[in-house]
Amino acid sequence: MADSIPTGIKGLDRILGGGLKPSSSCLITGAPGTGKSVLCLQYIIEGARQYNEPGIYITVEEHASDMRDYANSLGMDFSDLEENGLVTLLEQPILKGSVLSAEFISKMVEEKGIKRMVLDSLTLFKYMHQDNPMSLRSNLLKFMVRMRELNVTLLVTSERNTTSVDNVEYTHTDYLFNGIIFLFKPRLKSAFERCLTISKMRGVDHSLKIHPFAIKTGGIILQPDATSFALGGDDQ
């Protein structure tokens, strides 16, 4: 097994020391509009295109057609990867009153040989266990353990109601993940800037700095040595 699983986002892989730990689970968290979905789309698309690793993107809050349109708008068309079975985009809107089971997902992983997975978002598990927070935690842990047994490297998104890295409040489910990448948009006067920081990544010698990034044609552009103008360019 490889020592690391590259995300396919070059700048991000550099600050991760090469990539994610194989079969690990990582939370991609931040406020709306911070770039969570595009980061996860790139992880699936580039994993298939660059490394021939089958991936599945499970979306519970967006229509699959909207995700395809969004990817196309960024020059990240992946229709060829869907056609040859390397990328599976699975739509499961919870408002329809039914949700995917862990057993169904596990079976699909085995049948398709999935190596990369995105669950966008944690709302799926919260909906399934909305009346019992401890049930949410235990079942999420069971799902993550099952994905590890199947050698799947998992990204899960969640919403975070803060735009400051200094005011992050962690939840009881955050501690289950091997890694947490926090995306946020600090403001300087009339301009916002997209930034990310790696809050934790077990077993990885990762950057502790705050890194600005942009979303352009092709997806996320992150220069590891760049400094944030909104945060005063300090070495944080």
What is the SS3 assignment for 10?
helix
Q: Contact 185/33 with Cβ under 8 angstroms?
A: yes
**CATH code for the structural domain at 23-179:** 3.40.50.300
Residue 235 clears pLDDT 50, i.e. is over it: no
Nearest to 183 by CA among 226, 149, 222: 222
pLDDT tens string 102-142: 889 999 999 999 999 999 988 777 777 777 777 888 989 99
Is the pLDDT score of 28 beyond 90? Answer: yes
Give CA–CA dist 177/154, Å, rounded. Answer: 10
pTM (2 d.p.): 0.92
CA distance 34 to 31: 6
Condensed to tens digits (0 to 9), the pLDDT of residues 217-231 reads: 999 999 999 988 877
What tens digit of pLDDT does each residue of 160-205 get? 887 667 777 788 899 999 999 999 999 888 999 999 999 999 999 9
CB proximity list for 138: less than 8 A, separation 6 or greater: none
Q: Is 140 helix (H, G, I), strand (E, B) or coil?
A: helix
Domain ranges of the chain: 23-179
d(CA 41, CA 46): 8
